[in-house]
């Protein structure tokens, strides 16, 4: 037998833990060389079929007939499937089962799958797709939030969170403002489009490889549609080429289509959406209409606040009700609101069902309040009060030990936001820069500048308590190497790399001795989607627990072998470091980890373990609007400086200063990438990314040529990103904090900076600004009164605002 591949270090004391160090992403080389395989890269089987679908050309209408005769005659076409051919379930939904697998009697949005086609070649599939005839009687689509409200078309029940008496506090306040704020949706534009590969197993079983954040949900829906038990379906995800929430539920339909063909034909089947189909048929971030009213004092202290949210949920529920819930839970952002009333309702519209997107409703909730902060500042300055927006923000922040209970009743522990804001304000020289910019805006007729700061407090956990669970399987082999399987999915965010580091440190090994296996529902069952920024928290904690179970078995077995020289056997003194297992009382008595594992196996010591972790939270009662939904909060602040061309509206973000508390970073390099990447994606949402539909509900911005995401050249040349030193998140794995979603919300400060710039020349222009602040929107705001209020569909947007001053 050959010797071990990995040799221990000379001295266990020389071992350097990997947690806290930057090690390369486990697929970094594969990503840049093309060796990392995605679903489209899996070698084609000889019996494999190409799968696609016929989308609805209309946003609303009754299906009179579907003519498949011409399509069936195309050489190479193997199968055509309509709703009538589905073996079992015909609708699905992660919360409310209201979304058709295939359109049956009516179509609900442009791009909705109507017919599934399976063919030998892509050319045959495309020809058949052109020849399918859909006879649809058009109906008037609902394409705006306002129209849905008018018709009473809603999804789910109305929700309310309240504290105190907001109406009375607003009425009694020295100053009052009210308005309507609009934020539009956002396209995920992940690099890898929706994709799935399915093939039949033995005895009617189905194996599905899916680009999904939720393998269990995919397994469940495939089983339901095919009339199988979940034990007869295996869903596997090696990696995704990006997800951002767009594959939490939206990967289900392509997986079902591929599985359906495999089940019917007994052959392998693969579907990979082309980009235009992906963008037309899949859900986006929700557009919101937010009616707000606020009362405040002369200093800008908020006394009463009321917000009514309406979101454009699309044609089916998807995750819209939970997303609305998180918007309501984050409208406070980092601010103490003594009297507050928050209402939320999801509107049913004839667009693709809106879905999860990084931040999951949190950005929409925070954006309206940051808009209100800016409006309060503008109003007070118009009255001659010498305040800045950051003064108003600082005055309203949650306190430490007081004024620290959220509207839903959760006490904020470890609140670092005031310190973070003060630190960032000083280190980025905010006040001096603000004065300089405002003075320059009065003189420069060509360029307009703006500066804004924003604090962030983002709750970490699924708000649905049952989802806060994870499990992991750890297998240690006789050469001292380790395989780890979890329910978490890797979409480029570095989850696998972090878990590798956690496991390596538990056994005192170099990370190279640990490998993360593809996520599979046969190894990790009933798992939660990789979402809510909780992937490492849940799966990492479970993996660490499994490691400790194995270590306890090893320690109990090896302790007697370390006894001697008056030292009795004591499992608690067995240590793991540098590739050695040793007695911590006498470190020179040690055994190489691989050699020990080989011996342990011969003595029938179990070297594998499956562990389960449940986040210790009380949960949230949605009916009462009360509870403790979050395990902790990721906190931070960012400041943005922008430059605007007064004649073209061209916007450039010139500088960013960002300070974020992510606890003890497991991998600083990976985390820094997440912070900067998340911020830039958020910057895209608040500036250049604008979904445009025509009057029939057809998406016009359906490709990277018509939908503008930030390019590398849009990243601010001066980007200063630092981690706030905090070590008090003692209950979470490795004392870390989640880093996936929070950075995106920090980017709202870019929008606030645009609003500040406009306010320097025209408060009315600033009031007209809505989100995103595209070049066109900036010009509309600058040049005069806006048109009709935005209907949530993306045909231009505007704001309404009114104010009162209480007589004294």
Q: How far apart are CA 446 and CA 471, in angstroms?
A: 58
Query: Domain containing 504: what range?
Result: 3-36+469-614
Whether residue 723 sits in one domain with residue 590: no
The string of DSSP codes covering 661-687 is E-BS-S-HHHHHHHHHHHHHHHHHHHT
Residue 806 has pLDDT above 80, yes or no: no
Whether residue 431 sits in one domain with residue 475: no
Whether residue 320 sits in one domain with residue 249: no
Whether residue 478 sits in one domain with residue 339: no
* DSSP-derived pairing of the beta strands 302-314 and 340-348: parallel
| 614, 639, 659 - which closes a domain | 614
Q: How far apart are CA 260 and CA 263, in angstroms?
A: 5
Write the CATH number for 518. 3.30.365.10
Closest CA to 329 of 245, 421, 410: 410
Whether residue 529 sits in one domain with residue 452: no
User: Do the domain assignments include residue 581?
Assistant: yes
Residue 252 confidence class, pLDDT cut points 50, 70, 90? very high
pLDDT in tens, 215-229: 999 999 999 999 999
Whether residue 610 sits in one domain with residue 651: no
pLDDT in tens, 302-339: 999 999 999 999 999 999 999 999 999 999 999 999 99
Q: Across the chain, what does the average pLDDT equal? A: 95
Please give the tally of structural domains in the chain. Answer: 3
User: Do the domain assignments include residue 660?
Assistant: yes
User: Do the domain assignments include residue 156?
Assistant: no
Mean pLDDT score, 128-140: 98
User: Do the domain assignments include residue 402?
Assistant: yes
Q: How far apart are CA 223 and CA 35, in angstroms?
A: 32
pLDDT of residue 786: 47
Is position 741 annotated as part of the catalytic site?
yes
| 556, 581, 614 - which closes a domain | 614
Whether residue 796 sits in one domain with residue 702: yes
Q: How far apart are CA 795 and CA 792, in angstroms?
A: 8
User: Do the domain assignments include residue 163?
Assistant: no
Write the CATH number for 204. 3.90.1170.50
Mean pLDDT score, 334-357: 98
Paired residues of 115 in beta bridges = 54
User: Do the domain assignments include residue 152?
Assistant: no
Whether residue 509 sits in one domain with residue 425: no
Q: How far apart are CA 347 and CA 329, in angstroms?
A: 19
| 554, 585, 614 - which closes a domain | 614
At 775, list the tokens: 């070049």
Closest CA to 396 of 333, 348, 438: 333
Whether residue 626 sits in one domain with residue 553: no
User: Do the domain assignments include residue 175?
Assistant: no
Catalytic residue among 99, 217, 741, 777: 741
Residue 211 has pLDDT above 90, yes or no: yes
Q: How far apart are CA 551 and CA 574, in angstroms?
A: 9
Convert 589-607 to b/e letters by CB count within 10 Å (16 or more is b).
bbbbbbbbbbbbeeeebeb
Which residues, in sequence order, are CB contacts of 497 under 8 Å at separation 6+? 23, 24, 25, 26, 667, 670
pLDDT in tens, 619-649: 999 999 999 999 999 999 999 999 999 999 9
User: Do the domain assignments include residue 45?
Assistant: yes
DSSP state of 567: B
Handedness of CA 581, 584, 586, 587 (dihedral sign): positive
Q: How far apart are CA 153 and CA 641, in angstroms?
A: 41
Whether residue 572 sits in one domain with residue 445: no
pLDDT of residue 588: 86
Whether residue 448 sits in one domain with residue 482: no
Residue 584 has pLDDT above 80, yes or no: yes
pTM over 0.85: yes
Whether residue 668 sits in one domain with residue 548: no
pLDDT of residue 565: 62
């Amino acid at each position: 037998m050959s010797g071990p591949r990995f040799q221990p270090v000379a001295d266990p004391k020389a071992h350097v833990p990997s947690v806290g160090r930057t090690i390369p992403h486990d697929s970094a080389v594969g990503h840049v060389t093309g060796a990392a395989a995605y679903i489209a890269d899996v070698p084609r089987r000889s019996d494999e079929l190409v799968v696609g679908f016929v989308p609805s050309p209309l946003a609303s209408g009754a299906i009179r007939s579907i003519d498949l005769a011409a399509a069936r005659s195309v050489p190479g076409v193997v199968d055509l499937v309509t709703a009538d051919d589905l073996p079992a379930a015909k609708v699905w939904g992660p919360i409310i089962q209201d979304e058709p697998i295939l359109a049956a009697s009516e179509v609900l949005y442009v791009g909705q799958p109507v017919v599934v086609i399976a063919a030998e070649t892509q050319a045959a599939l495309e020809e058949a797709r052109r020849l399918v005839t859909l006879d649809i009687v058009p109906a008037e689509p609902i394409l705006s939030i306002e129209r849905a409200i008018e018709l009473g078309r809603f999804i789910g029940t109305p929700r309310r969170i309240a504290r105190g008496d907001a109406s009375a506090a607003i009425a009694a306040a020295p100053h009052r403002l009210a308005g309507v704020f609009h934020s539009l949706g956002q396209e995920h534009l992940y690099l890898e489009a929706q994709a799935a590969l399915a093939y039949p197993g033995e005895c009617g079983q189905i194996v599905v490889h899916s680009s999904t954040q939720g393998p269990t949900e995919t397994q469940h829906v495939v089983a339901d549609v095919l009339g199988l038990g979940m034990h007869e379906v295996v869903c596997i995800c090696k990696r995704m080429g990006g997800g951002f929430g767009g594959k939490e539920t939206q990967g289900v339909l392509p997986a079902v289509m591929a599985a359906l063909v495999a089940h019917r034909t007994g052959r392998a089947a693969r579907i990979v959406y082309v980009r235009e189909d992906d963008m037309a048929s899949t859900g986006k971030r929700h557009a919101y209409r937010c009616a707000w009213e606020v009362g405040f004092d002369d200093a800008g202290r908020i006394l009463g606040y009321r917000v009514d949210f309406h979101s454009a949920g699309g044609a089916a529920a998807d995750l819209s009700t939970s997303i609305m819930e998180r918007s309501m839970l984050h409208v406070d952002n980092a601010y103490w609101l003594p009297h507050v009333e928050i209402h939320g309702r999801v509107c049913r519209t004839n667009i693709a069902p809106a879905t999860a997107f990084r931040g999951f409703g949190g950005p929409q909730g925070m954006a309206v309040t940051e808009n209100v902060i800016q409006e309060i500042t503008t109003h007070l300055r118009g009255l001659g009060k010498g305040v800045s927006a950051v003064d108003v923000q600082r005055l309203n922040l949650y306190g430490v030990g007081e004024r620290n209970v959220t509207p839903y009743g959760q006490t904020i522990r470890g609140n670092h936001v005031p310190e973070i804001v003060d630190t960032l304000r000083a280190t980025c020289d905010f006040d001096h820069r603000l004065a300089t910019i405002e003075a320059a805006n009065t003189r420069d007729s060509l360029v307009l500048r703006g500066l804004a700061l924003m604090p962030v407090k983002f709750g970490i956990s699924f708000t649905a308590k049952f989802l806060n669970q994870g499990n992991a399987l750890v297998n240690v082999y006789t050469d001292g190497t380790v395989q780890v399987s979890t329910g978490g999915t890797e979409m480029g965010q570095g989850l696998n790399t972090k878990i590798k580091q956690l496991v390596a440190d538990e056994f005192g090994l170099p990370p190279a001795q640990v490998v993360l296996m593809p996520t599979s529902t046969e190894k990790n069952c009933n798992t939660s989607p990789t979402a809510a920024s909780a992937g490492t928290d849940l799966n990492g904690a479970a993996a660490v627990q499994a490691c400790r179970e194995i270590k306890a078995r090893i320690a109990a077995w090896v302790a007697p072998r370390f006894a001697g020289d008056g030292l009795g056997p004591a499992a608690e003194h067995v240590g793991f470091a540098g590739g050695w297992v040793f007695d911590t009382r006498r470190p020179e008595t040690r055994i190489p980890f691989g050699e020990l594992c080989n011996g342990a196996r011969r003595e029938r010591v179990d070297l594998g373990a499956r562990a389960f972790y449940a986040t210790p939270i009380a949960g949230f009662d949605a009916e009462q609007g009360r509870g403790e939904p979050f395990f902790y909060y990721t906190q931070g602040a960012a400041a943005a400086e922008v430059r605007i061309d007064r004649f073209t509206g061209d916007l450039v973000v010139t500088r960013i200063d960002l300070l974020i508390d992510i606890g003890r970073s497991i991998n600083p390099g990976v985390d820094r990438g997440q912070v900067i990447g998340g911020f830039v994606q958020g910057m895209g949402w608040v500036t250049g990314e604008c979904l445009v539909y025509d009057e029939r509900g057809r998406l016009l911005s359906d490709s990277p040529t018509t939908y503008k995401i930030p390019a590398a050249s849009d990243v601010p040349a001066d980007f200063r990103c630092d981690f706030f030193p905090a070590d008090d998140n003692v209950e979470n794995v490795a004392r870390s904090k989640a880093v996936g979603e929070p950075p995106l919300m920090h980017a709202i400060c870019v929008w606030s900076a645009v609003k500040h710039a406009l306010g320097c020349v025209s408060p009315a222009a600033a009031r007209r600004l809505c989100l995103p602040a595209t070049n066109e929107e900036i010009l509309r705001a600058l040049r005069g009164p806006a048109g009709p209020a935005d209907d949530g569909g993306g045909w231009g947007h505007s704001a309404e605002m009114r104010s009162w001053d209480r007589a004294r």
